[in-house]
Structure 1
Amino acid sequence: MTRTARPALGTFVFFSVAFALAIYFTFAAVQGDFGLFRRAEIDAEARDLARQLTDVQSDVTQMENLTKRLSDDYLDLDLLDEQARSVLGMLRSDEIVIR
């Protein structure tokens, strides 16, 4: 009796399924909703939002300064003059307007 040594079909199926699962989970770890690429996108978006937050905070600080300078407690005559000129279009009597 000669028996040929060939791999069993069950072993081949087992390793094929294990290989397919390994490929699937590797793909999901890289490309999935919680994968490496999505993590890189989230990190880049977080950096962009942090930069925007810094810009908005500086704008708010500037607006608070201007508001304080125009308040009743503290009156900046130069700022009041500038605002009256730009909003109301007022001029002093010794100025000439060139258009």
Structure 2
Amino acid sequence: MWTRHHKNRKFGRLILPAITVAFIGYFGYHSIHGDYGLRAGERFDQIRAERNKELADLVKKRKAIEKQVELLSDGSLERDMIDEKARYQLNMSRPDEIVIFNR
């Protein structure tokens, strides 16, 4: 009867833990530094905050423009508003006026 004797190899016992550590290291690294990791999430939050600030500024400007358009609409033409726009566009004023541009 033949029997095979296997030599106890210490290397064989380390293969599974080494593969496990490699997988954990790979996925751990990409969970922090990857495209959808923690640092990318922080960058997305910063960009979102900046865009919300830009949106608030644009909404504010739009409301101001809508108010000016409402004053210039056909139903309620205001002479002061028309005069102000005409003077601003033509860059003209009377000699006795003081003009302050705040734009």
- Please report the TM-score for the alignment, with normalisation by the length of structure 2: 0.76
Q: Provide closer, same or farther for how the CA distance between residues 64 and 17 of structure 1 changes in structure 2, counting only shifts above 3 A.
A: same
Matches within 5 A, 1:19-98: 19-92=21-94, 95=96
How many residues are paired up? 91
Unmatched tracts of structure 1, length 5 or more: 1-5
Identity over aligned pairs, percent: 26
Q: Provide closer, same or farther for how the CA distance between residues 11 and 72 of structure 1 changes in structure 2, counting only shifts above 3 A.
A: same
- 4+ residue runs over 2 A deviation: 88-92, 94-97
Unmatched tracts of structure 2, length 5 or more: 1-7, 99-103
Q: Provide closer, same or farther for how the CA distance between residues 44 and 72 of structure 1 changes in structure 2, counting only shifts above 3 A.
A: same
C-alpha root-mean-square deviation of aligned residues, in Å?
2.1
Give the deviation of 1:95 after TM superposition.
2.9
Give the partner amino acid of 1:61: K
